[in-house]
């Protein structure tokens, strides 16, 4: 019982410790980096313009930089590189970067890698990396240092190599060297997102008045890391299941105290006869519960701290933080100690109150466990093929119905969460399959310059190994709210309206059609972020700084990123002369190796024809990255299922131990009439198997609401997926195997104890 309480408390405490550490490292780590309140993209930024922005009343500081996308050849293969250039790396005040190894700042012709990109890319200090930008000749840069930027999503998660370079290095790569990204920090740190957005648009107006063109404005949630909301949702959900595990362990306390009271009814009657008051008697049993809680807390708190710190370190890694030097707040540990001590007392209060109210006469006449309480003998005997030992085990399982019900509920709840997690995994895999099944291409290319769509498609399909190709357009857009302030920006992908490569099945409305004008199909994530984009709604979007009227005609499911889809002809026309800068390709070859070879041949052939490729992306790789991200969240949630199964298993072990103690005299009688150790062992294990089998059955209907809960929790963390309610046959078999394994393990020690009691001692047991 102590182990069950300790396990539940350790599970809930580990999540609480993790949450406290993440909150602390976010507050002291992320905010200490002075993250930008907003970012604006313009044509170029010089010192005079920066001083003009800094002089605005609402602005505390402003800095400029440039971000360049390139390709990198690393030991891990060809990957996307995102390079950041500033005027002075030693004087960064907004989104500060902390050097960790090697030299800082980066020298001309050198590269400092952001630490989250190291492991997956294979980069190392002192080793060269080849960086290529578009059709320019690739340049070999020496990796001279490692730094940490807590404002970036981890490179290993985004599959991007982050690097810091000088403007002179950009020139060597053939990239523009002017700074075009303005990062600002507002004076009032208490402002909400809308207020910061209004200030950002005041800065935009100032830039435009100075003769500069602003192409985009991004305003993040103030003081929140890009992945903080997802981490919080995951921790809250896990915390809820941790509390549920704690509640299940409290049910087992009820079982234990009730069993103690049932075995000591005559003692209670004697104490009352001698003048013992109900409060005095209750304090004896509540003291036992308090002692149980204190011992459990002594076991749980170090375990929770150990697990919580390492889990928080993993979460911090997902947020690109370093947990070194942070400790769990003392108040959090005190809270866990109080819960661990008082929870068993609260759980024991009801059975103790009932036990103390037994009249003296009834207590003195108590003769122990009633012979009834289970299914009737004739009813069981009518079941063919059931032996007498098995009949006895079935009757014993139902002898203490209240205890059996609580044990059954604890184990079945763990099973329901286990089945719900399996259902969620199947749902996520099915959703990813559905999303990528709608993508009829294998390779995506982005070009340095825009080209005519027809000529680009003809050049691509002429390369051996290409089955089909389409040229697409793309843009960033934001909903105009009518007061000059825009909403959050999102991506618009623009395939041909009659695309044979992309065709999502609409959840609402319809897909794009030939002849459509300015119409949008939005994905469900974008609709959740901005309900004004409902089907049939007319909205004004700002694309490239120009307002345009659009009509929403459909909703699709296309993944966790907010995205809209529009006809290529409309978007390309808005961006200029109808040219496009990207293409998607359906390969005639299967397998990563063949498709990677196709990418290399495409790059070479297209470059010879003047179509310089800037970046390339393998869809299979994108799918693997997305599935790994999503299933990692599912695995985090699944851990709580095993926690509750463990609590239920300890509850079953406790129940069987109590049953053996209560039936010590019966075991003595069985031994006296010739029962072998194997037969007694089988009786105990068969009783446990009955409870485990019933928990298997009860968990199946319970898994339906649990699947809904897990599905909605996952939807808050990542994106909504269809909820799988009915478990697959394989899932039911796995849960049956787990339940049977738990029953065998839980009954092993009680069964062994039953066989070791001497016959004489068992017959004399009171």
pLDDT at 713: 80
pLDDT at 36: 94
Q: Indicate if the pLDDT at residue 409 is higher than 70.
A: yes
What pTM value is reported for the model?
0.70
Q: Indicate if the pLDDT at residue 605 is higher than 50.
A: yes
Q: Are 425 and 417 in contact (CB under 8 A)?
A: no
Q: Are 182 and 203 in contact (CB under 8 A)?
A: yes
Low-confidence winner among 39-48, 119-128, 149-158, 737-746 (lowest mean pLDDT): 149-158
Q: Are 42 and 251 in contact (CB under 8 A)?
A: no
Q: What is the mean pLDDT of residues 704-719?
A: 81
Q: Are 38 and 184 in contact (CB under 8 A)?
A: yes
Q: What is the mean pLDDT of residues 637-642?
A: 83
Taking residue 331's Cβ as centre, other Cβ atoms within 10 Å add up to: 9
Q: Please, what is the Cα angle at 286 between 282 and 288, to 5 degrees? A: 125
pLDDT at 373: 47
Low-confidence winner among 172-176, 449-453, 481-485, 511-515 (lowest mean pLDDT): 481-485
765 pLDDT tier (thresholds 50, 70, 90) = low
pLDDT tens figures, 563-592: 999 999 999 988 877 889 999 999 998 887
CA distance readout (Å), 413 to 257, 572, 626, 685, 714: 22, 55, 30, 21, 19
Low-confidence winner among 256-260, 324-328, 429-433 (lowest mean pLDDT): 256-260
Across-strand partners of 45? 179
Low-confidence winner among 222-231, 366-375, 613-622 (lowest mean pLDDT): 366-375
Torsion sign (Cα): 717, 722, 726, 730? negative
d(CA 509, CA 502): 17
- Of 210 and 316, more confident: 210
DSSP secondary structure of 219-263: -PPTT--TTHHHHHHHHHHHHHHHHHHHHHHHHHHHHHHHHHHHH
Q: What is the mean pLDDT of residues 69-80?
A: 82
Q: Indicate if the pLDDT at residue 700 is higher than 80.
A: yes
Q: What is the mean pLDDT of residues 676-702?
A: 84
**Beta strand residue intervals within 588-713, DSSP E:** 613-618
pLDDT tens figures, 523-545: 988 998 888 899 999 999 988 77
- Of 42 and 406, more confident: 42
Burial label for 412, CB within 10 Å (0-12, 13-18, 19+), is buried
**The pairing of beta strand 128-132 with beta strand 110-114:** unpaired
d(CA 368, CA 359): 16
Burial 607-644 (b: 16+ CB within 10 A, else e): eeeebbbbbbbbbbeeeeebbeebbebbebbbbbbebb
Q: What is the pLDDT of the chain when averaged over all its residues?
A: 85
pLDDT at 186: 95
pLDDT at 372: 45
Q: Indicate if the pLDDT at residue 371 is higher than 70.
A: no
pLDDT at 488: 79
Torsion sign (Cα): 262, 265, 266, 268? positive
Q: Indicate if the pLDDT at residue 394 is higher than 70.
A: no
Q: How many residues does the chain have?
A: 766
Q: Mean pLDDT: which of 337-346, 361-370, 547-556 is highest?
A: 547-556
Q: Are 70 and 132 in contact (CB under 8 A)?
A: yes
Q: What is the mean pLDDT of residues 402-416?
A: 84
d(CA 122, CA 469): 33
CA distance readout (Å), 600 to 240, 464, 604: 50, 12, 6
Q: What is the mean pLDDT of residues 39-53?
A: 92
Give me 609's structure tokens: 């024809």
């Amino acid at each position: 019982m102590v182990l069950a309480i300790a396990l539940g408390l350790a599970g809930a405490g580990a999540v609480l410790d993790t949450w406290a550490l993440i909150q602390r490292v976010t507050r002291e780590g992320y905010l200490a980096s002075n993250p930008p309140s907003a970012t604006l993209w313009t044509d170029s930024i010089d010192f005079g313009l920066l001083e003009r922005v800094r002089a605005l009343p609402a602005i505390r500081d402003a800095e400029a930089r440039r971000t360049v996308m390139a390709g990198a050849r690393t030991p891990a293969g060809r990957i996307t590189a995102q390079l950041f250039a500033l005027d002075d790396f030693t004087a960064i005040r907004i989104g500060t970067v902390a050097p960790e190894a090697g030299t800082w700042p980066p020298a001309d012709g050198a590269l400092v890698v952001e630490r989250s990109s190291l492991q997956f890319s294979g980069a190392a200090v002192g080793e060269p990396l080849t960086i290529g930008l578009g059709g320019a000749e690739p340049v070999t840069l020496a990796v001279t240092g490692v730094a940490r930027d807590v404002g970036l999503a981890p490179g290993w998660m985004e599959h991007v190599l982050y690097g810091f370079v000088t403007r002179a290095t950009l020139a060597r790569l053939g990239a523009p060297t002017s700074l075009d990204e303005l990062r600002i920090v507002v004076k009032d740190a208490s402002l909400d997102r809308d207020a910061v957005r209004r200030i950002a648009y005041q800065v935009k107006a100032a830039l435009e008045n100075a003769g500069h063109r602003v192409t985009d404005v991004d305003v993040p949630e103030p003081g929140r890391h890009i992945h903080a909301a997802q981490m919080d949702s995951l921790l809250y959900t896990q915390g809820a299941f941790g509390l549920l595990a704690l509640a299940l362990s409290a049910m087992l306390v009820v079982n234990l105290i009730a069993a103690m009271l049932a075995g000591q009814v005559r003692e209670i009657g004697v104490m009352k006869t001698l003048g013992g008051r109900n409060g005095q008697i209750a304090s004896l049993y509540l003291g036992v519960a308090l002692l149980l809680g204190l011992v459990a807390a002594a076991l749980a708190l170090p375990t929770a701290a150990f697990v919580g710190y390492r889990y928080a370190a993993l979460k911090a890694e997902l947020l690109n933080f370093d947990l070194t030097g942070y400790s769990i707040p003392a108040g959090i540990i005190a809270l866990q100690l109080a819960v661990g001590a008082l929870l068993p007392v609260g759980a024991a209060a009801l059975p103790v109150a009932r036990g103390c109210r037994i009249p003296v006469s009834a207590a003195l006449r108590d003769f122990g466990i009633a012979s009834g309480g289970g299914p009737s003998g004739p009813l069981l005997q009518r079941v063919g093929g059931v032996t007498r030992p098995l009949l006895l085990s079935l009757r014993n399982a139902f002898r203490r119905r209240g205890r059996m019900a609580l044990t059954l509920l604890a184990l079945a709840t763990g099973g329901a969460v286990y089945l719900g997690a399996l259902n969620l995994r199947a749902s996520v895999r099915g959703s990813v399959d559905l999303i990528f099944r709608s993508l009829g291409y294998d390779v995506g290319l982005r070009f340095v310059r825009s080209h005519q769509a027809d000529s680009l498609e003809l050049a691509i399909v002429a390369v051996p190994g290409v089955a089909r190709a389409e040229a697409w357009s793309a843009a960033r857009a934001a909903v105009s709210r009518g007061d000059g302030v825009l909403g959050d920006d999102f991506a618009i992908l623009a395939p041909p309206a009659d695309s044979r490569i992309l065709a999502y099945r609409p959840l609402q409305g319809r897909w794009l059609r030939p002849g459509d004008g300015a119409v949008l199909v939005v994905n469900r994530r974008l609709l959740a972020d901005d309900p004004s984009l409902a089907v049939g709604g007319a909205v004004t979007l700002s694309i490239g700084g120009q307002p345009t009227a659009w009509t929403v005609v459909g909703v699709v499911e296309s993944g966790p990123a907010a995205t809209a889809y529009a006809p290529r002809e409309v978007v390309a026309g808005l961006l200029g002369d109808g040219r496009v800068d990207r293409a998607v390709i359906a390969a005639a070859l299967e397998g990563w190796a063949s498709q990677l070879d196709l990418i290399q041949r495409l790059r070479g052939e297209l470059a010879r024809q003047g179509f310089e490729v800037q970046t390339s992306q393998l869809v299979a790789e994108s799918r693997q990255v997305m599935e790994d991200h999503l299933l990692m969240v599912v695995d985090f949630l699944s851990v709580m299922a095993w926690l509750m199964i463990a609590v239920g298993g300890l509850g079953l072990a406790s129940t069987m131990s109590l049953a053996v103690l209560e039936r010590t005299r019966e075991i003595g009688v069985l031994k006296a009439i010739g029962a072998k150790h194997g037969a007694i062992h089988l009786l105990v294990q068969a009783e446990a198997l009955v409870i485990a089998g019933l928990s298997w059955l009860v968990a199946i209907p319970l898994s339906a609401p649990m699947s809904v809960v897990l599905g909605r929790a996952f939807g808050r963390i990542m994106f909504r997926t269809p909820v799988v309610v009915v478990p697959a046959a394989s899932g039911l078999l796995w849960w049956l195997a787990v339940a049977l394994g738990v029953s065998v393990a839980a009954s092993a020690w009680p069964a062994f104890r039953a066989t070791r009691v001497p016959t004489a001692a068992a017959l004399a047991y009171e």
